Amino acid sequence: MARPAVQLYSLRTVDEPLAKLITRAGDAGFEGVEFANRITDTDADAVKAALDDGGIESVAAHVGIDELEDDLDETVSFYRSFGCDRLVVPWLDPEHFESEAAIDETAERLTSLARAVAEHDVELGYHNHDHEFETVGGRPAFERFAEASGDALELEVDLGWATAAGADPTAFLERWSDRIPLVHVSDADETRSPTEVGDGVLDVPACASAVRDAGVEWAIYEHDEPEAPLESLSHGGGVLGRF
């Protein structure tokens, strides 16, 4: 079974300090949290105290590629100050995956960055949305990206976005399991609009089985646009019990 975590982006509209949101995640049964957005102006000591008090692990943090490339040392140092030793680039524009040449260039860029991050004893991954699974050269762009990037770069597969793009995330999990320590458990409807997991296109039973078979370490719940974030948090805790 993968351990349950929540991407705190799902709670971004809740007007509470980050430390309080971490506590809420623990109270909802999550064992870990994944940070989102730029939080380098946050009180790292308060974050660490909330994690320690709740027995919650800092699974990873989504960090923009510019933030990493512009000031790697300071960025890594900040996240490590509260025990976060895995960073994930959460987004690159579709142009980075629109051709085979662009995919190869993106793979080289991220692999090089992953090696630089590794010198700080921190791991780097990349998180997909739907555009990475569009067809380029007769197959999903993310397949070529996985092949072209080095083993230093981890893959955080968002199951919902992959499915929304028409791909089979279970096949991708099976092929690349040795590079996938984290997955996002999200969902979307036929228009690719985020929805609660189980209400959209995601095949929850098949994905849960594939995640277990692949030995994924963390299943991370996410809802990009929840109408009631705290209710969604509770729903997510129940869903991840299947993974």
The two beta strands, 182-185 and 153-158, are parallel
Whole-model pTM above 0.75? Answer: yes
181-239 pLDDT, tens digit per residue, is 999 999 999 999 999 999 999 999 999 999 999 999 999 999 999 999 999 999 999 99
Residue (of 168, 68, 179, 82) closest to 125 by Cα position: 179
Q: CA angle at residue 122 from 148 to 30, to 5 degrees?
A: 100
In angstroms, what CA-CA distances link 210 with 65, 73, 86?
29, 36, 23
In this structure, the chain runs to a length of: 243
Query: Residue 38 pLDDT > 80, yes or no?
Result: no
61-70 pLDDT, tens digit per residue, is 999 999 999 9
Predicted local confidence at residue 103, as pLDDT: 98
Tokens 């995601």, located at residue: 202
Fold of 3-242: TIM Barrel (3.20.20)
Predicted local confidence at residue 41, as pLDDT: 81
